[in-house]
């Protein structure tokens, strides 16, 4: 199989599979015994995520998926009727529905309309109003593969006093991100794409400033300090860290897999991963353009990551034919999307290219 569909879901590495299996075996044989170990393991995973995202481990909370994470933000703010949220029209719906759902409270949604499939910080700034309170965008767009200039957008958000939220699922771990440098207040992701970890192992990173603005739309027994104090229940006794948004027992099996995936990513090297994915996408874009194929993905290295989306007539037929040949890519909105990861090879990209014109 030539697997080029990491923007949808990734095959798990054997190391991830082993880590999950090891945890399940301990639970099967020992019941509660591995619980303290699992809590420590979850903390170590937060530290690795902190290292990847450049934020304190205390900012991280585990959630189910990107959508749940963005709902923590959307439902946690004290909205007033007339408050506005700015979004990109082309976003994947996980970054739209949590905010569209606020319209029933009188919140107004504004959209940046892409031009030639791209949006720029200037286009974002032109859409801001005095009532805009949140900007939420993807680090890497699911359809076009455009990688946002987070630093420039973060500066804008600071200037206009907006809360800056980013869906990072299509950009990590293979694209450099620095939450503090880019002044990101809130970030959400799942782990089943480029992180090659299990589903249901999402996470958010919420800065200390954002925590002061994002209330508990849900509250559970692990949201408070001293969770085992049962005789003095006090919802004000909130944990100071982002773990307050987790509410209860974590998905330790999935998190064991995420930890193994992160350790592997650091061993391989984040810079090296970024170079590999950019080299492979560059090679493929060059070949497509040499055949006159329209590529939606921006060509400069700083504006893309692992996704290459292109237009061909009969996209559905081509997609079906490739699948029969075990060359796995996506058909999204009638466009073809190839998403190679660090371990794919130039030869695999060449095989895809040749098969497109068979």
Ligand X SMILES: Cc1ncc(COP(=O)(O)O)c(C=O)c1O
Q: Which parts of this chain interact with ligand X (CB under 6 A)?
A: 65-67, 92, 94-95, 138, 142, 167, 169-170, 190, 202
Please say which residue, 67 or 353, places its beta carbon nearer to ligand X.
67
- Which of 91, 64, 244 has its CA nearest to residue 167? 91
| Distance, CA of 122 to CA of 149 (rounded, Å) | 11
Please say which residue, 205 or 224, places its beta carbon nearer to ligand X.
205
Please say which residue, 73 or 224, places its beta carbon nearer to ligand X.
73
Minimum gap (Å) between residue 69 Cβ and ligand X: 8
Minimum gap (Å) between residue 112 Cβ and ligand X: 15
Please say which residue, 35 or 111, places its beta carbon nearer to ligand X.
111
Pairing of strands 163-167, 108-112: unpaired
Please say which residue, 95 or 239, places its beta carbon nearer to ligand X.
95
Please say which residue, 95 or 256, places its beta carbon nearer to ligand X.
95
Relative orientation angle of helices 270-290 and 346-356, to the nearest 10 degrees: 30
Minimum gap (Å) between residue 65 Cβ and ligand X: 3
Please report which residue ranges of the chain form alpha helices under DSSP H. Answer: 14-30, 35-53, 66-76, 97-100, 121-126, 150-159, 208-213, 252-268, 270-290, 315-324, 346-356
Minimum gap (Å) between residue 4 Cβ and ligand X: 15
Minimum gap (Å) between residue 280 Cβ and ligand X: 19
Please say which residue, 67 or 132, places its beta carbon nearer to ligand X.
67
Tokens of 9: 């879901």
| Distance, CA of 135 to CA of 154 (rounded, Å) | 10
| Distance, CA of 236 to CA of 246 (rounded, Å) | 16
Minimum gap (Å) between residue 125 Cβ and ligand X: 22
Pairing of strands 202-206, 60-63: antiparallel
Relative orientation angle of helices 252-268 and 35-53, to the nearest 10 degrees: 40
Relative orientation angle of helices 346-356 and 315-324, to the nearest 10 degrees: 130
Minimum gap (Å) between residue 10 Cβ and ligand X: 12
Minimum gap (Å) between residue 143 Cβ and ligand X: 8
What's the CA dihedral at 345, 350, 353, 354 to 10 degrees?
-140
Beta carbons of 237 and 96 less than 8 angstroms apart: no
Please say which residue, 154 or 202, places its beta carbon nearer to ligand X.
202
What's the CA dihedral at 101, 102, 104, 109 to 10 degrees?
-100
């Amino acid at each position: 199989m030539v697997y080029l569909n990491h923007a949808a879901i990734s095959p798990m590495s054997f190391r991830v599979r082993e880590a999950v299996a090891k945890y399940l075996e301990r639970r099967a044989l020992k019941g509660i015994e591995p619980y303290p170990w699992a809590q420590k393991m979850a903390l170590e995973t937060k530290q690795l995520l902190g290292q990847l995202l450049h934020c304190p481990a205390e900012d991280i909370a585990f959630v189910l998926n990107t959508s749940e994470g963005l709902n923590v933000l959307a439902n946690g703010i004290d909205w007033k009727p007339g408050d506005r949220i700015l979004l990109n029209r082309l976003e994947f719906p996980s970054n739209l529905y949590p905010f569209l759902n606020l319209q029933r409270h009188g919140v107004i949604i504004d959209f940046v309309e892409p031009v030639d499939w791209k949006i720029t910080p200037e286009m974002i700034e032109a859409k801001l109003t005095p009532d805009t309170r949140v900007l939420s965008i993807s680090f890497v767009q699911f359809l076009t593969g455009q990688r946002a200039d987070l630093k420039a957008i973060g500066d804008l958000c600071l200037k206009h006093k907006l809360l800056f939220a980013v869906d990072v699922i299509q950009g990590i771990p293979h694209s450099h991100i620095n939450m503090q440098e880019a002044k990101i207040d809130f970030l959400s992701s799942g782990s089943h794409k480029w992180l090659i970890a299990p589903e249901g192992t999402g996470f958010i990173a919420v800065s200390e400033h954002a925590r002061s603005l994002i209330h508990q739309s849900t509250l559970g027994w692990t949201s408070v300090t001293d969770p085992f104090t049962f005789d003095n229940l006090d919802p004000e006794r909130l944990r100071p860290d982002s773990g307050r948004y987790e509410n209860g027992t974590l998905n330790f099996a999935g998190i064991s897999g995420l930890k193994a995936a992160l350790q592997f990513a650091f061993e391989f090297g984040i810079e090296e991963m970024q170079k590999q994915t950019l080299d492979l996408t560059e090679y493929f874009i060059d070949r497509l353009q040499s055949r006159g194929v329209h590529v939606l993905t921006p060509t400069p290295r700083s504006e893309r990551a692992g996704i290459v989306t292109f237009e061909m007539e009969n996209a559905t037929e081509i997609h079906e034919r490739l699948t029969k040949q075990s060359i796995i890519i996506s058909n999204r909105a009638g466009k073809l999307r190839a998403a190679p990861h660090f371990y794919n090879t130039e030869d695999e990209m060449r095989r895809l290219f040749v098969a497109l014109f068979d």
